[in-house]
Amino acid sequence: MKKFGSSEKFLFGDNIEWEVVGEGVKRKIMGYDDSIMLVNVHFDKGGIGPMHAHYHSQVTYVVSGIFELTIDKETHLLKGGDSFYIPPNVLHGAVCKESGVLIDVFSPIREDFMGEE
Amino acid sequence: MKKFGSSEKFLFGDNIEWEVVGEGVKRKIMGYDDSIMLVNVHFDKGGIGPMHAHYHSQVTYVVSGIFELTIDKETHLLKGGDSFYIPPNVLHGAVCKESGVLIDVFSPIREDFMGEE
């Protein structure tokens, strides 16, 4: 597997550019090594994370906003202070009901989020 | 290595009790499997995470508050929207300057955070 090394140790949000990843959805990669990666994802109201799956384990913390989260065949509304866990290879997706921020963390690193070097 | 399985998929913050882990510091474990663990840590002003090290990789997102963070021999003030990355076995510690919340994520799971079963 390709190795990516690691990020800086201190990451200042104001210094990191947003990357637009869909309509009403943008992200900042905010810390990683080959075994873990943290991503700040901002959703406008109506922004969608389409149903998808990946072999990485994922945990996500809802910082703010309201999200309709589907994991496998179960759907719940989550708000700031809630979180969710997605096992490897399980389908999941989100619809943003009120603008907010998710902190997505993956193990191992999401190679597909890393630009060509 | 001992296996812990995984947490629930949906975790509602209001339903999870705080665990006091030090003076002015309390936490909720909010999602895990054997390869990843997410922990919500609330600090009162003056709360301290003493300098320590562990073999796990760690990424942390600052949700709110102001924290004086030391990693190895480098110290910075971090606020909501910032983050940090701690490589395995590197000394680190935090002093809370204004009350707030850190989202600590580890890979692999912190076995030492899991109660006896």
The span from the CA of B4 to the CA of B13, in Å, is 21
Q: Does B13 contact A at CB distance below 8 Å? A: yes
pLDDT of residue A108: 97
Q: What is the pLDDT of residues A85-94, one digit of tens each?
A: 999 999 999 9
Q: Report residue B64 as tokens.
A: 């709110």
Tell me what ipTM this predicted complex has: 0.96
Are A87 and B36 an interchain contact pair (Cβ–Cβ within 8 Å)? no
Are B33 and A57 an interchain contact pair (Cβ–Cβ within 8 Å)? yes
Q: Whole-model pTM?
A: 0.96
> Does residue A117 carry a pLDDT above 70?
no
Q: Which of A10, A59, A87 sits opposite B105 (nearest CB)?
A: A59
Q: Does A105 contact B at CB distance below 8 Å? A: yes
The span from the CA of A51 to the CA of B99, in Å, is 37
* A44 in Cβ contact with A95 (< 8 Å): no
What's the mean pLDDT in B23-47? 98
Q: Does A111 contact B at CB distance below 8 Å? A: no
Q: Does B35 contact A at CB distance below 8 Å? A: yes
Q: What is the pLDDT of residues A28-37, one digit of tens each?
A: 999 999 999 9
> Does residue B111 carry a pLDDT above 90?
yes
Q: Does A17 contact B at CB distance below 8 Å? A: no
What's the mean pLDDT in B10-14? 98
- Domain B19-111: assigned CATH number: 2.60.120.10
Are A81 and B13 an interchain contact pair (Cβ–Cβ within 8 Å)? yes
List beta partners, residue A85. Answer: A59
- Residue-range domain boundaries for chain A: 18-111
Question: Domain A18-111 maps to which CATH number in 3.30.1280.10, 3.40.1710.10, 2.60.40.10, 2.60.120.10?
Answer: 2.60.120.10
Q: Does A21 contact B at CB distance below 8 Å? A: no
> Does residue B116 carry a pLDDT above 90?
no
The mean pLDDT value of chain A amounts to 96
B36 neighbourhood in chain A, CB within 8 Å? 36, 57-59, 105-107
Closest-CA residue of chain B to A68: B10
Are A9 and B36 an interchain contact pair (Cβ–Cβ within 8 Å)? no
DSSP secondary structure letters along A26-85: EEEEEEEETTEEEEEEEE-TT-EEEEE--SSEEEEEEEEEEEEEEETTEEEEEETT-EEE
> Does residue A6 carry a pLDDT above 80?
yes
Q: Does A63 contact B at CB distance below 8 Å? A: yes
Half-sphere exposure of A12 (CA within 13 A, CB side): 6
